[in-house]
Structure 1
């Protein structure tokens, strides 16, 4: 209680720093000063929030940051404790243990140096984020059929005879569990029109894992990569870590501007695109633009990474054919993920590869991570084979459509003075346009101090002028949560107006 009272006196609600950052800093000070000792249990996040007079989301964000940096450690079913081995107290010999391997691989040593590109990953990739309103691209994990999943798991474990145990409890195939690859091949053939076999599929720990390995395999230092602008920060990070040069290619209402890309980098070796639903702006790449991209890639000998991250959740019409389905020269690598279809904690994704690249990717996969956990792969395979995936996706599609309608109506009723929004045909979030004079980054920062998560499109832009746009997710939130979030966001806008008016008068 003494600690909480002390903390309360040091949280400045009018400071520029978000409340969760202030709480994070204050707890680090208490831990490093010894006021909070290693192994000591902290109050629950709910108790923290009540006693400090802040939202629980503020405390969760601070705890998540402290856990990711090693100051706190959660214990399932027990609570959160101060780590017994604090970051600045870890033995200096820890890094020495990997010195022989690093010395034997000079390239690895350079790539992992403190000032190297691989150590500067975007914050969105480094920190675990909570499903607080209005986080984008997060499925309704509370609606996942956990009991059905548990029943499948129990059946799987009970059926582990010696032969099955040897396959699922022993070492796995770097390419992935074959029944899962069979199920995926059937799924993408039906849903996206892809022509492939299980032999073309490799299982990864999520789509980002596949993107990163593709950059390592297909690029050499100094080669250039087309990246959508604004676009997915993971490709910029992976290309840079591989020593390549990301080239920001603008997007318009038809998707990536192929002609502009040719002007900027005619010799690019790799292209990353999200044609089914451009991330983050949401447009679908036109058929003409798709053919233009494939024609250029074939002539230039470039590879195309197609990230099809949430096409399953489409609410109107049918999607265009995937790039992979249009490819006649074997230039397209198609990436999919179960993070949106099922749940993020599963960390399973897949790539459908041109035949010429399969062996290289399987060999690399054997080195980087070796293989994904076999029991999880077996569970997903059974979930798909028994028809549960198709049923779950249909249920979520209907649910997300209702939640999108609710969010759009709420914006129109309560926030039309500050923003407008249009429906999306695909996915888990909408794009909102702010009224003139409002900055997406400022709105996101102010909202974060109140426990909301709003993504400013400018955070994903290199040269594009998009600070008037923000993303609002709806898939993970019920109507009560969204209504509460709308109220908080309205207060944010009112406070920003008042502050701006005060500043104008003062000047």
Structure 2
């Protein structure tokens, strides 16, 4: 089958890298119908010759398009437009192309709702308190979600903070802007556009004191009493605990290898007001939301006039290929509320996170932000803005990707050696934590992972039981295992010691 006749033009005068231009040309061609599912595309060498560019540049573009689900490589047979590309994808892209051609078009969305009632003061469940305690305070080995504290550039950071503290700027001493330090908001908007494919204005970016504060801001701004929320099952424990406190109705939607099961969610509650998802690195299983599921989720949100809360908590750390674009980058009707944090890419002690809200919600979120009298210390926000502006942030991410790629291998190998066939450990494609599942013997009942995790805590480790991340935590069919972090494992010897300690907690 010969490749489909297809011509690509690139502009070497643009600041956009050539590989990104190639990606965009392919997306546009698919949107316009010039390339259809199943069409063969030019070979790497052929396209590199046509564009007079390096083969590696084309290979990088193709790799990104494959990761995103647009293309499919079939070895010697060639590279093809993915046959499973959903029809809604081409419709969405065509709509985007038409919008770009005719200028920015307004979209009709749901009316801005009122804030929820006083349910935000509900008492958290004891299990949530225990988990919160396990993930805070003095850092301990194998703690999920904890970045490499030993590799953080402390001296550089202290210098930046000291420079700002000595500057004499009154802004460093006054009450902070509840929406966030303006230069930091600008840097976040630029960073997201370049690295995550999220196009936004600084006015859409709101800096918060952590992910919980982000959720509180979003719900106070956009939720109504008794709203239904799709929640991934299994899903992030602390978010689930907070949502339960707010009075919203949680709808547990199962997760499989493609991410959240959108069809099942529609069956359970088609008119849910929100869907809380972790598309890039599902928490805790680590799956990536497939392109077909992404488009189905966006289609549902548009038809139901609902909001999608995208928790993009550690997507910067991907070890197979480049980081995937955010779900927000595919959002053409402003239904995705993007949430990011500096707790994973920097240090959690900063207590700095952010959200990008659709333009039609900016006014409402801004008013609620001021009414909450929120605002993180300007001193730390300014230092972080300097850290980004001076290029330290990009260099830090690059170093951490390389470091974590090594450290994840250390712990996986050590666990395999210590547990043998008792534990299934899959090398995670991204993130700084992963879930490992216990293997049930022929004569054994389900392993009590809660008890194993409790013994591990007594031994000084900070692993969490996998079962409690599920809505039905104690059924026989609920997977049992452990959720653990690996970013702070400094050597093979340490990994081996921790794995042996953990194995002793299993017994038998």
Q: Following superposition of structure 1 onto structure 2, how do residues 409-488 of structure 1 map, counting pairs within 5 Å?
A: 409-436=413-440, 437=444, 438-463=447-472, 465-479=477-491, 480-488=493-501
Residue by residue, what CA displacement relative to the aligned partner does 1:135-166 show, whole Å, maximum 9, x if unpaired? 11101112111110111122223333xxxx22
Alignment match, 1:236? 240
Deviation at 1:484, TM superposition (A): 2.1
Give the aligned partner of residue 186 of structure 2: 182
Separation in 1, partners of 2:293, 2:413:
33
* TM-score of the aligned structures, taking structure 2 as reference length: 0.72
Shift of 1:486: 1.6
Question: In the aligned structure 2, how far is the partner of 1:446 from the partner of 1:221?
Answer: 40
CA distance in 2, matches of 1:257, 1:314: 23
1:336-367, Cα deviation, whole Å (9 max, x unpaired): 00001110110000001101111221221222
Q: Secondary structure of the equivalent of 2:362? A: helix
What's 1:36 paired with?
none
Deviates more, 1:379-388 or 1:237-246: 237-246
The answer for the alignment partner of 1:130 in structure 2 is 138
Are residues 1:215 and 2:225 paired? no
1:364-422 CA-partner distances (Å, limit 9, x unpaired): 12222431110010000000000111111111111111111111111222221421211
Q: Tell me the distance in 1 between the aligned counterparts of 2:391 and 2:435.
A: 33
Question: How far, CA to CA, are the matches of 1:145 and 1:312 in structure 2?
Answer: 18
Report if aligned partners of 2:146, 2:432 keep a CA contact under 8 Å in 1.
Answer: yes
CA separation in 1, counterparts of 2:127 and 2:482? 22
1:151 matched to 2:159? The reply is: yes
Asked if structure 1 preserves the Cα contact closer than 8 Å seen for 2:220 and 2:368, the reply is: no
1:338 aligns with 2:342: yes
CA contact (8 A) 2:316 2:323 kept: no
Please identify, of 245-254 and 362-371, the stretch whose mean Cα deviation from structure 2 is larger: 362-371
Partner SS for 1:291: helix
Distance in structure 2 (CA, Å) of the matches to 1:181 and 1:121: 35
Cα root mean square deviation, aligned: 2.0
Return the offset for 1:129. Answer: 4.2
- Residue 72 of structure 1: aligned partner: none
Is 1:388 matched with 2:396? no
Q: Which segment is superposed worse, 412-421 or 288-297?
A: 412-421
Over 3 Å counting, the alpha-carbon distance change for 1:365 and 1:394 in structure 2 is same
Report the Cα offset of residue 441 of structure 1. Answer: 2.1
> 1:332: Cα distance to partner?
0.4
Counterparts of 1:373-384 in structure 2, within 5 Å, are: 373-384=377-388
Q: Which residue, out of 140, 150, 155, partners 2:148? A: 140
In the alignment, structure 2 segments of 5+ residues that lack a partner are 1-115
Unaligned runs of 5+ in 1: 1-105, 498-507
SS at 1:433 equivalent:
strand
Normalising by structure 1, what TM-score? 0.72
Residues 126 and 360 (structure 1 numbering): CA distance in 2 closer, same or farther, change over 3 Å?
farther
Shift of 1:216: 2.3
* Shift, 1:126, TM fit: 5.3
The total of aligned residue pairs comes to 382
Query: Residues 248 and 463 of structure 1 are in contact (CA less than 8 Å); yes or no, is this contact kept in structure 2?
Result: no
- Following TM superposition, by how much is the alpha carbon of 1:455 offset from its aligned partner in structure 2, in angstroms? 1.5
CA shift in 2, pair 1:126/1:471, >3 Å: closer
Could you tell me whether the CA contact under 8 Å between 1:224 and 1:244 is conserved in 2? yes
